[in-house]
């Protein structure tokens, strides 16, 4: 009986690990086919327990860890997320720091895990805890991208000055206004700094050993293309599906320091990156014509390479102000549906889905306790906190959550049409408006939107000769104030409104187009 019980337990354990055992990294292919749906998370706050609700984690409260983060994975999967972008998980600098826990991007060690993200009550080692988290992601068919910071902390400079650029007085270089970090000396083309390269090799090797599926390279533009070519080749030799995403934009024109290299986005793609950010984060400043032009720009750019390339829809990242601060819930809803219908990889930062304004009541006030030499809760107002042990991203907008979930579900149900269909901009007279269609032989999606957040009732009339009597149509999102005949689509758009229509030859329960 004991023997049978032992066999049964072993069998159950084997079955519980079956999903991970069967998992094979496919992230590069998924990304290049525009099928990655990505959520950026900060482990330090992802599932923290701020019981007194002051915005930060005090003594006796539980900060986010890799172990308690597992409890939220089903929530992300249910939303439609299939890829997680982990903001940096490496140890942070404690000297000349920003915030009471140190900036996630002030890396002090390439080979270890930030102890602030570790469950001290677990019997697992720090790296075993990370691996358990990654395993649990993979069991849910969620891929994991690790963030590679672009600069080093002052602590690391003191320990390994050979890794850094120095001025004529042998002082470290502070790039731009990033006062808590120092600029790495990666070398130049044909003369790379082997010490810096080896440090990055160690990071990549660690990520692969933990089961990671790719990296996001922070400010990739400040390292030479040759540096990335060597690093990418190193990783791809170990795992051909290991994905590389460059934080780079076509709108970035100069480096953050005169001492810094500057490799533009197109050269980074040439160096081997699978994709880049684009400039979708500038939507807050664009009119409809700007949006369409950027889509056309990317379509031409990404098809110009011998090997496939793609981009993320970087409307909302940890560097961007919360959309609800900029234009309220409607702006977030507009972003959600653009994420669903555009032929690139959707990306959100945790908290977007519920309308978090990233307000922290004690922000920029003196703290009773600090892990760093900064006694203040330094934060970027309106942005996800990356400097302190802070509350879990939240918000109370059911409207945004339901729209994002519906939008991602619609994308998943129409993924081949959206990613492989023919994208056609549609003419509108008002520059604040945008309109486009995506079509194949039997189906078509038409999207109409208004980027004017002050003026509504903007009438739009779209010429669309192919919406004929052989098609049915469904209003996927938006009100039914739409007139459709054989040649035109007419409607009006409120401030920040977006409408999504689907035309199909076999759309059950849909309306006939009137002649």
H helix runs in 275-372, sequence order: 288-302, 323-327, 329-341
Residues 276, 278, 283, CA angle at the centre, nearest 5°? 145
CATH number of 2-418: 3.20.20.80
Report pLDDT for 511: 54
The per-residue pLDDT for range 248-278, each reduced to its tens digit, is: 999 999 999 999 999 999 999 999 999 999 9
* Predicted pLDDT at 469: 55
Give the Cα separation of 149 and 108 in Å (integer): 10
What are the CA-CA distances from residue 217 to residues 202, 362, 398, 434 (Å)?
15, 31, 33, 32
pLDDT in tens, 313-352: 999 999 999 999 999 999 999 999 999 999 999 999 999 9
What pLDDT score was predicted for residue 472?
A: 84
The domain locations on the chain are 2-418, 422-512
pTM: predicted TM-score of the whole model, two decimal places: 0.93
What is the architecture of the domain spanning 422-512? Sandwich (2.60)
* CA dihedral (152, 157, 158, 159) positive or negative: positive
Which pair of structure tokens corresponds to residue 499? 């409408």
Q: What are phi and psi of 480, to 5 degrees?
A: -95, 20
pLDDT reported for residue 190 = 84
Q: Among residues of the chain, what percentage have pLDDT more than 70? A: 92
Query: Contact at 8 Å (CB) between 493 and 448?
Result: yes
Does residue 336 contact residue 399 with C-beta atoms inside 8 Å? no
DSSP string, 172-216: B---TT-TTEE-B--EETTEE-HHHHHHHHHHHHHHHHTT--EEE
The strand pairing partners of 511, in sequence order, are 473
User: What percent of the chain is modeled with pLDDT above 90?
Assistant: 85
pLDDT digits (tens, 9 = 90+) for 459-489: 888 876 555 456 788 999 998 888 887 778 8
What residues contact 78, with CB distance under 8 A and at least 6 apart?
405
Q: How large is the average pLDDT for residues 171-180?
A: 94
């Amino acid at each position: 009986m004991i023997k049978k019980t032992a066999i049964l337990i072993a069998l159950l354990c084997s079955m519980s690990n079956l999903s991970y055992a069967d998992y094979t990294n496919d992230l590069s292919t998924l990304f290049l086919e525009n099928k990655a749906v990505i959520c950026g998370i900060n482990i330090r706050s992802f599932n923290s327990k701020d019981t007194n609700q002051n915005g930060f984690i005090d003594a006796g409260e539980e900060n986010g860890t890799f172990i308690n983060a597992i409890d939220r994975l089903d929530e992300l999967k249910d939303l439609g997320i299939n890829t997680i972008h982990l903001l940096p998980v490496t140890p942070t600098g404690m000297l000349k720091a920003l915030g009471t826990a140190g900036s996630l991007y002030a890396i002090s060690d390439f080979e270890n895990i930030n102890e602030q993200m570790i469950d001290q009550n677990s019997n697992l080692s720090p790296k075993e805890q990370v691996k358990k988290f990654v395993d649990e992601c993979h069991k849910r068919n969620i891929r994991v991208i690790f963030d590679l910071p672009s600069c080093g902390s002052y602590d690391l400079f003191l320990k390994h000055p050979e890794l850094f650029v120095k001025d004529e007085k042998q002082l470290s270089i502070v790039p731009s206004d990033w006062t808590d970090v120092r600029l790495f000396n990666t070398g130049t083309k044909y003369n790379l700094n082997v010490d810096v390269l080896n440090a990055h090799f160690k990071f990549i090797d660690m990520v692969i050993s933990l089961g990671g599926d790719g990296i996001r390279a922070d400010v990739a533009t400040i390292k030479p293309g040759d540096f990335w070519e060597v690093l990418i080749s190193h990783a791809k030799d170990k795992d051909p599906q290991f994905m590389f995403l460059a934080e780079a934009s076509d709108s970035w024109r100069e480096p953050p320091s005169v001492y810094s290299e500057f490799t533009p986005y197109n050269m980074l793609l040439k160096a081997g990156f699978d994709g880049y950010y684009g400039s979708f984060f500038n939507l807050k400043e664009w009119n409809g014509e700007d949006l369409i032009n950027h889509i056309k720009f990317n379509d031409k750019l990404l098809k110009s390479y011998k090997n496939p390339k793609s981009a993320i829809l970087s409307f909302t990242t940890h560097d961007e102000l919360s959309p609800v601060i900029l234009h309220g819930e409607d702006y977030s809803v507009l972003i959600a549906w653009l994420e669903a219908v555009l032929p690139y990889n959707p990306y959100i930062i945790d908290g977007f889905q519920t309308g978090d304004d990233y307000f922290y009541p004690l922000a920029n006030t003196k703290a009773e306790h600090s892990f760093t030499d900064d006694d203040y809760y330094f934060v970027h107002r309106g942005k996800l906190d990356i400097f302190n042990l802070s509350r879990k991203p939240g918000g109370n907008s059911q409207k945004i959550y339901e729209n994002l979930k519906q939008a991602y579900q619609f994308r998943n149900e129409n993924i081949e049409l959206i990613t492989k269909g023919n994208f056609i901009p549609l003419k509108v007279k008002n520059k604040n408006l945008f309109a486009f269609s995506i079509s194949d032989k039997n189906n078509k999606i038409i999207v109409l939107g208004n980027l004017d957040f002050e003026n509504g009732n903007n009438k739009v009339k779209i010429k669309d000769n192919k919406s004929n009597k052989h098609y049915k149509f469904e209003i996927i999102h938006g009100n039914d104030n739409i007139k459709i005949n054989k040649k035109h689509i007419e409607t009006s758009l409120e401030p920040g409104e977006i409408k999504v229509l689907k035309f199909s030859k076999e759309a059950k329960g849909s309306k006939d187009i009137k002649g």
